[in-house]
Amino acid sequence: MILEMYNIEKRFGNFTALKFDELLFDNNRYYVILGPSGSGKTTLLRIIGGLEYADSGKIIMESREITNMPPWKRDIGLVFQNYALYPHLKVYENIASPLISKNVPAEEVNHEVKNILDIMELTDQARKFPSQLSGGQQQRVALARALVKRPKVLLLDEPLSNLDSRVRADLRDYLKKTQREFQFTAIHVTHDPEEAMALGDKLVVFHHGKIIQNDTPYNVYNNPNDIFCARMLGNINLIPRNSIDLDLNDDFDYYGIRPEDIFIDPNGNINGTIKYKDFLGHGYMYAIDVNGFTLKVLAGKDVHLSSKQEVRLRFDMSRLNIYKNGKKVSPA
Ligand code: ATP
């Protein structure tokens, strides 16, 4: 265990921004903190980094309490959304600056910076100023500068959100690769579910300052603890109990099933009528009317159906989750 947080509470005036009992981080893992705007994600990172102090609770790093320790004494690196590079320093000096301010001998600085420039494929950019780089390159410099001190924990606050989608995908691969090579624990904040699932070994979902679920992306996606979490991870059909009857006996008010877990199948037991479709490239998202309820169903790119066409549907019942008052009900 690299980092342990217990009974954390943080208020701003009367407003409780964070409140949870326990959050634990293992060594060399990639954690993604996912939540909507205002759920407390940035506040969590600031408390871990020591830029903000919790009103109550305890933080332990490698068995040592760091709850009230100032940021510069913590072995924790930071990368933000807006890169925060020194505009008057070239790439090389930007990356070297954390080592120079720690009085690391010049030769060692040179060695370390060259090494990291090489790993991050930035050697050709070393003599440029930040303003002469693309957004993706600037963020790689910011990452290199945070990693040159070899922190055991790296905090990343929406590091990809200022980049366009192709650069974002490239940098996403970079982040994962770097985390494996440098062997640190990443704590990465985002509100993008795809980014969260692609990067995370573990996913911690926050809502109103509380932890809703802390599990592998696979489990959070397939078995969300509550309706909020189910929606947060992407498209889902939340079907009121009486709207499409599946003969379920449990006590619940909704069941949830993802569009890819419903199949258009002539042997299916549910009748529907196609309303419209969206082409997604890898497939079609069909909107299908069943008894007045509009179901979303994902089909392959070669499944061409037109509106008003009648279809039969089959649900993968093993993928169904049932909810009562917004919370998941364990299957009977
Ligand atoms: P976003 O995705 O929009 O950055 P977030 O999940 O990171 O949101 P936080 O920035 O942690 O959310 O903020 C959580 C809540 O605490 C918000 O409602 C915010 O307005 C409030 N808050 C944060 N910092 C302060 C502050 N210094 N003073 C008062 N309220 C604050």
- Give the CATH number of the domain where residue 282 resides: 2.40.50.140
Residues 125 and 191 occupy one common structural domain: yes
Full domain range(s) for residue 132: 3-231
Cα 40 to its chain centre, rounded Å, is 14
Q: Answer with the one of 186, 204, 231 that is the final residue of a domain.
A: 231
Radius of gyration of the chain (CA): 24
Expressed in angstroms and rounded, the spacing between residue 43 Cα and the centre of ligand 1 is: 6
Expressed in angstroms and rounded, the spacing between residue 40 Cα and the centre of ligand 1 is: 6
331 pLDDT band (50/70/90 cuts)?
low
Q: Is the CB of 41 under 6 A from ligand 1?
A: yes
Residues 59 and 145 occupy one common structural domain: yes
- pLDDT on residue 332: 47
Residues 116 and 213 occupy one common structural domain: yes
Residues 215 and 291 occupy one common structural domain: no
Residues 42 and 169 occupy one common structural domain: yes
**What mean pLDDT value characterizes the chain?**
93
Residues 145 and 185 occupy one common structural domain: yes
| Number of domains making up the chain | 2
d(CA 12, CA 331): 40
Residues 53 and 68 occupy one common structural domain: yes
- pLDDT on residue 83: 65
Mutational pocket test of ligand 1: of 41, 47, 160, 232, the residue with most ligand atoms within 8 Å of the beta carbon: 41
Give the residue whose CA is nearest to atom 1 of ligand 1. 37
Residues 101 and 159 occupy one common structural domain: yes
Residues 192 and 260 occupy one common structural domain: no
Mutational pocket test of ligand 1: of 8, 14, 32, 39, the residue with most ligand atoms within 8 Å of the beta carbon: 39
- pLDDT on residue 135: 85
Is the confidence at residue 76, as pLDDT, over 60?
A: yes
- pLDDT on residue 173: 87
Residues 131 and 225 occupy one common structural domain: yes
pLDDT tens, position by position, 112-155: 999 989 888 899 999 999 999 988 889 889 989 988 888 999 99
Task: Give the global pTM.
Answer: 0.92
> What integer is the mean pLDDT of 251-265?
95
Residue with tokens 């909704």: 254
Alpha helix stretches (DSSP H) within the chain: 41-49, 91-100, 106-119, 135-147, 165-182, 193-199, 217-222, 227-232
267 pLDDT band (50/70/90 cuts)?
very high
Residues 199 and 315 occupy one common structural domain: no
d(CA 40, CA 206): 7
Q: What is the ipTM of this complex?
A: 0.94
Residues 226 and 257 occupy one common structural domain: no
Give the residue whose CA is nearest to atom 20 of ligand 1. 38
DSSP state at residue 9 = E
pLDDT tens, position by position, 228-256: 999 999 999 999 988 998 888 888 999 99
Bridge pairing between strands 293-300 and 327-329: unpaired
